[in-house]
Amino acid sequence: MLKIDVITLFPEMIASAASFGVLGQGLKESLLEVQAHTPREFASDKHRTADDRPFGGGDGMIMLAETLEKTILKVKHKNSKVIYLSPQGPVLTDEKARALAKEEHLVFVCGRYGGIDQRILNTYIDEELSIGDYVLSGGELGALVAIDSLSRFIPGVLGHGESADKDSFSEGLLEHPNFTRPREYLDQSVPEVLLGGNHAVIAEWKRKVSALVTLKKRPDLFLSYLEKENEAYKNLKKKKKGKPLDELFKFWQALSDKDKKVLGLSELSFWEDFHG
């Protein structure tokens, strides 16, 4: 079972936010464990100080090395991966979340104020992790984002029939649009193919719609997907179908105007970039 220790000045934030939804259920069922610890526990003064002014001046306070070190040593063992949430780290991806879900023990260190003493980084941090190119006031939301996304890859956390492998990014594509009852709403109808009950046809249709949605919303992801598809096509001995992009274009052309509209695929301005 994956154990996660979060080092933070605000442990209540972690316990509270992690208690909802599939993550909260996963914790109740002991599919993973999350515990928060505060460096204040190791502060020796009556104010339980865990930060101080930076040497050389500058804005904000810096989290003290000693209290942080003692907290890290309290939880860390030889198989731990210690991660500092930081705007300077590589940005969290689906692939990274999958990899983190396979670890035995994660320690997330959350900075506050101006960050943490560099010597803690040099000595104890195995890697830095960012959740995006912007600055948060603390690492807690970053740790929670990482915990939420990795927990989806822990077997049993998602409910029956749900799988993270069908979500956006899992095959390098965004997910297709979804619909539920009623069939007609706001003058728009659910595409006929989804009502037909032919699972193989539906799966193939969803995959192609996913590719089109990715082309429209994330041309950068679509390009990587297309490169892989082209490579696979090149290696095919018997080519029963046309090139992947030509086949996708044919599929899009064959969609009715009504379906294109309800899928948000009426206009695909990036066709020329890939096709031309």
The residues binding ligand SAM (CB under 6 A) are: 85-88, 110-112, 114-115, 130-132, 134-139, 142
CA-closest candidate to residue 247, choices 214, 217, 204, 216: 204
Tokens 């649009």 belong to residue: 177
The whole-angstrom distance between residue 245's C-alpha and the CA centroid of its chain comes to 28
**Please, what sign has the CA dihedral across residues 139, 169, 188, 272?**
positive
- Of 135 and 203, the one with the shorter C-beta distance to ligand SAM is 135
Q: State how far the alpha carbon of 73 is from the alpha carbons of 7, 11, 132, in Å.
A: 11, 17, 28
Q: How far is the CB of 82 from ligand SAM (least distance, A)?
A: 13
Partners of residue 189 on adjacent β-strands: 184
Residue nearest to ligand SAM (CB): 111
- Of 87 and 219, the one with the shorter C-beta distance to ligand SAM is 87
Q: How far is the CB of 114 from ligand SAM (least distance, A)?
A: 5
- Of 68 and 211, the one with the shorter C-beta distance to ligand SAM is 68
Dihedrals phi, psi of 3, to nearest 5 degrees? -110, 135
DSSP-assigned letter for residue 56:
T
| Residue 195, both tokens | 């009502």
Angstrom distance (rounded) from CA 193 to CA 260 = 13
Burial class (CB in 10 A: 0-12, 13-18, 19+), 273: exposed
Angstrom distance (rounded) from CA 130 to CA 139 = 9
CA angle 72, 6, 136 (to 5 degrees): 110
One-letter identity of residue 48: R
- The neighbour count for residue 228, using CB atoms within 10 Å, is 12
